[in-house]
Amino acid sequence: MLKKMTLIKGLLAGLLPALLMLAAGCDGNRHADAMRYNVTCTLDAVLHRDSATLLVLEENYNKLRVCGTSLAQGETFTFSGQTDCPKVALIRWDEDSTRPFYFVLEPGDTRITIKPGSWSIGGSRLNKEYQHFANRRNAIMNARAATWQEYLKMAADSSLKRDDELRLVRQDSLLNDSLQRITVERINRGDAVGRIIRERYARQLDQEHMRQLR
């Protein structure tokens, strides 16, 4: 009986390392799946490009890292890989570095659609927040453009009065202040969306609002 118990203990001792390695491997696979990203970007046919490159900002080194290049499948580009946290990313078209598309790279599926003058993005919380900011910004910019057009029209037909001019100037000033405030507020959150907005729009802030940046 003693010999039998000794034999069983020996077998278990030999199996234990293998079982631990198997368990670790399963946990590792689950962890890798949790970090996996899939990005699908579809361009309008008018904006046709042959290739696209995905780059990610590695903040510890303040450098862009190339994550992959995709050839067009119709008008669609796809990228996949792993990321351990949300990161600032951009897509460059046909090696053109002047007009990249910024977004937040996160684990999970990200779907991007780009049309002339507009874009939409879905699949992650931070990207939805980025689009929400972009929509607010565009609404304010459109309102400023409409104010300017009203001024030009009234000036052209000689109907512009002093009160009208003061009203339009005040209206534009309020819109501009609103634009500056939402830009500063979103940058100062310090997340990946804020870093994209800082990169794209901080240079458009006036000195007063620039000093409010953290």
* Res 61: pLDDT: 84
DSSP state of 124: S
DSSP assignment string, 60-72:
TTTEEEEEEEEE-
Has residue 214 got a pLDDT over 70?
yes
Long-range contacts of 197-204 (CB under 8 A, 24+ apart): 197/130, 197/133, 199/88, 199/102, 200/102, 201/137
How confident is the model over 55-90, as pLDDT tens digits?
999 988 889 999 999 999 999 999 999 998 999 999
Query: Could you tell me the residue ranges of all domains in the chain?
Result: 35-123, 127-210
CATH class entry, domain 35-123: mainly beta
DSSP state of 176: H
* Res 60: pLDDT: 83
**Per-residue confidence band for 98, with pLDDT thresholds at 50, 70 and 90:** confident
